[in-house]
Amino acid sequence: MACDFRNIYRLISLAYNRGMTDAKITVRLMREADINTIYQACVNEGWHKPRTLFRHYWKQMSDDNGVLIVGEVDQTFAGYITINWRSHYPPFRKSSIPELVDFNVLPRFRRKGVGAKIMGFAERRVAQTSPIVGIGVGLTHDYGAAQRLYVKRGYIPDGRGIFKYHDFVSIGEKITVGHDVALYFTKRLESAENDG
């Protein structure tokens, strides 16, 4: 008897997401009061993100240099992403391509649509000022879920290869792969109404 793996996958996905069917996912801009909430959520996950980072993001928003977008499930913090209007990645900066940076969804909310909603909100925000958005992603398995999500959302590699610190990696060059090594992607945005 032939096995229909697509049907099995669908049933597993339904069971996995069952707890989220009635949950309300909301996405909004960061408020100053979110600094401590986001910081504490990161501490609880064992993520090394200092409180000063979120204060910096808040200052960027106040200065119109960036935006931090928060995702919540039933009014509980679930994840965030930032938009950096002036990317630190040289090709994006040269072409005035805004960059999505520091995208994180708490593990218990992953694969439940939260990340997709956060990304969609961010992409619509960028589409108001730019026809293209960029994003970088790490190369290790820690970034596997993000790598898959970006490809599913239509991001394509920018064709420049691996970037580490402030330079591109050349063939034969030996590097240590860490959180600072990334591959960069871009996505053409349809319009401000684009759902991403």
Could you give all domains of the chain from N- to C-terminal order, each with its CATH number? Answer: 22-188 (3.40.630.30)
Per-residue confidence (pLDDT) for residue 195, from 0 to 100:
45
Average pLDDT over residues 140-153: 91
pTM: 0.82
More confident residue, 37 or 193: 37
CA distances to 22, 38, 136, 188 from 101, rounded to whole Å, are 29, 15, 7, 17
pLDDT at 17 over 80: no
The pLDDT of residue 8 is 45
Task: Give the mean pLDDT of 141-161.
Answer: 93
**At residue 60, does pLDDT exceed 70?**
yes
